Amino acid sequence: MTYDGFKGQMELGIQRNPERDRNFHLGGRSFYFFDFDDNIVFLSTSLVIFHKETGDELLLTSGDWARFHHTIGKQGPFKDYEIRFDDQTGSFRNFRDHHPEELMKLGRQRQLFVEDVAAAMGVPDLQWKGPSWECFYHAAFNQRPVSLITARGHHPDTLKDGIRLFVDRRILPLEPNYLSIYPVSNVSTRQALGDGELILSVAELKQRAIRASVEKALELYGYSAHHRFGMSDDDPKNIQLIVEEMTRLKNDYPEMSFFMIETHEGSFLKHEITLSGVSSQKSDGVPQMSLFEKSRTEV
């Protein structure tokens, strides 16, 4: 079986045949967990901070947010600004779904996430493809089980609608084989992850989403010592807590393999979680997909 005519980043215009998982014959699967923004795709979605005295709004890119959010209101260039948490009017309003009447007021027909994905595809692909795009393409093309674990607060169906645009435009050949979707700022998602009081941080919620996704993988695909799980994220705070959670998972399931892929500021650094610690390997011209799917006997 081949897919013709798709010119995504991985295939370079050449017909590709789907590849069976390396450990498929042993009962193992490779599971791909992804953060979305600045990891799979760079979107123009703005975060909003507010001047403490005047209330004037200032728009930040997601890259600026990742760099400065821990100092907003305290020190640095945004010490005179504050973060507001109302989903409809606050700092993260562009990362939430809106009621149809609100969209009409904004002059939008679709949710903002879908509109932002459509806008991204209107510029050269090197401007919107994130450091994990190749891994994401590889996972979709080969129908590896995929989990989206993002700080956004949309409904999971909104995320699917946006990603479906890549398929409609023939940038992705197939929709991903979704294992789970966790937009961890979504109230229903937070409650499903046990945060009924809405007090956990994004990084803590991502920890819970990773564990829930691993447990769902075992429920759907059965246990195998040859399963591999890889999570890619660009936010340093998330990366730290993801490694902590994967360390706990490795202790719970010592025969399975766990990887954290760090994509901060466009890097691609693989951390393998072992019982004796974390082993790191920087990608230097190595195909990204191989970093998730090394067999036990490969270096």
Do 130 and 228 fall into the same domain? yes
CA distance 274 to 271: 9
Do 29 and 67 fall into the same domain? no
Q: Give the whole-number percent of the chain exceeding pLDDT 70.
A: 89
Split at pLDDT 50, 70, 90, the class of 286 is: very low
pLDDT value at residue 15: 65
* 212 within domain boundaries: yes
Q: List the 277-282 sheet strands across, edge first.
A: 177-183, 145-150, 30-34, 228-233, 257-262, 269-274, 277-282
Q: Which long-range contacts (CB under 8 A, 24 or more apart) does 5-9 make?
A: 5/170, 6/170, 6/171, 6/172, 6/173, 7/170, 8/137, 8/171, 8/172, 8/173, 9/125, 9/129, 9/133, 9/134, 9/137
Please count the structural domains in the chain. Answer: 2
Q: Residues 33-50: pLDDT tens digits?
A: 999 999 999 999 999 999
* 15 within domain boundaries: no
DSSP annotation of 125 reads H
Dihedral class, residue 212 (left if φ above 0, else alpha if ψ from -120 to 50, else beta): alpha
Q: Please state whether beta strands 47-51 and 57-60 pair in parallel, antiparallel, or not at all (unpaired).
A: antiparallel
Do 283 and 143 fall into the same domain? yes
Answer whether 0.95 is exceeded by the pTM: no
Do 179 and 244 fall into the same domain? yes
- For residues 50-60, give the mean pLDDT: 97
Q: What is the mean pLDDT of the chain?
A: 88
DSSP 201-243: -HHHHHHHHHHHHHHHHHHHH---TT-EEEEEE--HHHHHHHH
CA dihedral for 56, 57, 60, 65, sign (positive or negative)? positive
Q: Comparing 55-59, 67-71, 218-222, which segment has the lowest mean pLDDT?
A: 67-71
- For residues 19-45, give the mean pLDDT: 92
**Of 96, 117, 135, which residue is a domain's last?**
96
Do 181 and 257 fall into the same domain? yes
Do 130 and 65 fall into the same domain? no
Token readout for 290 is 């191989």
**Any idea what the CATH number is for the domain that residue 266 is in?**
3.40.50
Considering only residues 21 and 165, tell me which one the structure prediction assigns the higher pLDDT. 165
Are 132 and 39 within 8 A, CB to CB?
Answer: yes
- Does residue 44 sit in helix, strand or coil? coil
* 297 within domain boundaries: no
pLDDT value at residue 280: 81
Q: Residues 112-147: pLDDT tens digits?
A: 999 999 999 999 999 999 999 999 999 999 999 999
* 131 within domain boundaries: yes
Segments forming the whole domain that contains residue 87: 47-96
Q: Which amino acid is at 153?
A: G
- For residues 269-291, give the mean pLDDT: 72
* 165 within domain boundaries: yes
pLDDT value at residue 289: 52
**Of 76, 96, 116, which residue is a domain's last?**
96
Split at pLDDT 50, 70, 90, the class of 235 is: confident
CA distance 52 to 235: 26
* 220 within domain boundaries: yes
Question: Helix axis angle, 156-168 relative to 112-120, nearest 10°?
Answer: 20
Do 156 and 279 fall into the same domain? yes
CA distance 51 to 156: 32
pLDDT value at residue 292: 58
CA distance 32 to 46: 27
Do 34 and 73 fall into the same domain? no
Do 157 and 73 fall into the same domain? no
Do 91 and 227 fall into the same domain? no
Do 254 and 216 fall into the same domain? yes
* 211 within domain boundaries: yes
Do 75 and 148 fall into the same domain? no
* 19 within domain boundaries: no
CA distance 111 to 51: 27
